[in-house]
Amino acid sequence: MRERMVIGNWKMNPPTIADAVELARSVADRIPAGVLVGVAPAAVALPAVSDALRDTNLDVYAQDVHWEERGAFTGQIAASMLRGLATGAIVGHSEVRRDQCDDDARVAKKLARTVTAGLRPILCVGESAAEHEAGNASVVIVRQIAADLAEAPRRGLQRLVVAYEPIWAIGTGNPATGEWATLEVRAIRAALKHAGLDAEAIPILYGGSVSARSVAEFAAADGIDGALVGGASLDPDEFAAIVRAFG
Contacting ligand PEP within 193-212 (CB under 6 A): 207-210
Binding map of ligand PEP across residues 159-198, x = CB under 6 A, - = no contact: ------x----xx---------------------------
SS3 state of residue 240: helix
Question: How would you classify residue 50: left for phi > 0, otherwise alpha for psi between -120 and 50, otherwise beta?
Answer: alpha
- C-beta closer to ligand PEP: residue 67 or 164: 164
SS3 state of residue 2: coil
Q: Which of 95, 127, 131, 165 is the catalytic position? A: 165
Residue 66 annotated to the active site: no
Q: Of all helices (H) and strands (E), which one includes residue 164?
A: strand 161-164
User: Is 230 one of the binding residues for ligand PEP (CB under 6 A)?
Assistant: yes
- C-beta closer to ligand PEP: residue 208 or 223: 208
Selected range binding ligand PEP among 53-61, 128-136, 228-236, 238-246, rule: CB under 6 A: 228-236
String of b and e for 223-235 (b: at least 16 CB within 10 Å)? bbbbbbbbbbbbb
Q: Which of 93, 95, 127, 131 is the catalytic position? A: 93
Nearby residues of 9 by Cβ (< 8 Å), 6 or more positions away = 40, 63, 90, 93, 207, 228, 229, 230, 233
DSSP strands (E only) in 10-73: 36-40, 58-62
Kindly state the smallest distance separating residue 170's Cβ from ligand PEP, in Å: 4
Number of residues engaging ligand PEP in binding (CB under 6 A):
13
Answer for the pair 148, 111: CB distance below 8 angstroms, yes or no: yes
Report d(CA 66, CA 119) in Å as an integer. 13
Selected range binding ligand PEP among 16-24, 31-39, 74-82, 223-231, rule: CB under 6 A: 223-231
Residue 93 annotated to the active site: yes
Q: Which residue is nearest to ligand PEP (CB)?
A: 230
Q: Which residues bind ligand PEP (CB under 6 A)?
A: 9, 165, 170-171, 207-210, 228-232
Residues labelled as active-site residues: 93, 165
